[in-house]
Amino acid sequence: MKTLDKHLFKALDNYPFNLLETIESLEYALSANNQNTLALCLLGRIYSEQLMDYETAKEYFSEAISINLHALDVYPYYIETLILNEDFNEAHRLIDFAMTIKGISKIEILKKKIWLLEVQREFKLAKKALKDFQLHLTDSYYNSFVEETKTRLNGKIKPKKKKNSKKEKSLN
């Protein structure tokens, strides 16, 4: 039987509101098991979200995945860090791989894909990914996300302007 690490739960409970307690609890958790993927993921999140040290965060996320490819919680945070660090090709590869993992939240991975495509100004591809996202939905929880994203993407896709005819130009 596996035992639950109370220090890890304390770190998760304290993050992000009490970073000192989070770090202290993580140190205890990692000293007991330096291959705890959830603790490594949280450490990666601290480096990414709080310290904006994306390279160090990537190391912790990568280490967690190398320990356990099925550390499902790591992938969304790792992808987000790759996007923030502008490692777009690596983010695309990780998204493609994550979508093949049984049990992963495909919805969360597809949200990251839409964001990545939007950051890369691939608005039409982002809209296509949004349609794929909608196919994976099984409840109405994400309806506002879909509508807001659709509106934002449509606003970024500039419609082609019709060329004015010579008559319209002469009237102006």
Q: How do the domains of the chain map onto residue ranges?
A: 1-104
* Mean of pLDDT over the chain: 92
- The rounded distance, in Å, linking the Cα atoms of 26 and 150 is 39
- Whether residue 2 is predicted with pLDDT greater than 60 in this model: the reply is no
Give me the pLDDT at residue 123, please: 96
- The rounded distance, in Å, linking the Cα atoms of 139 and 67 is 33
Give me the pLDDT at residue 158, please: 75
How many residues appear in the chain?
172
- Domain 1-104 of CATH type 1.25.40.10: yes
Interior angle at CA 89, CA 87 and CA 93, nearest 5: 115
- Whether residue 116 is predicted with pLDDT greater than 90 in this model: the reply is yes
Give me the pLDDT at residue 1, please: 36
pTM of the shown model:
0.88
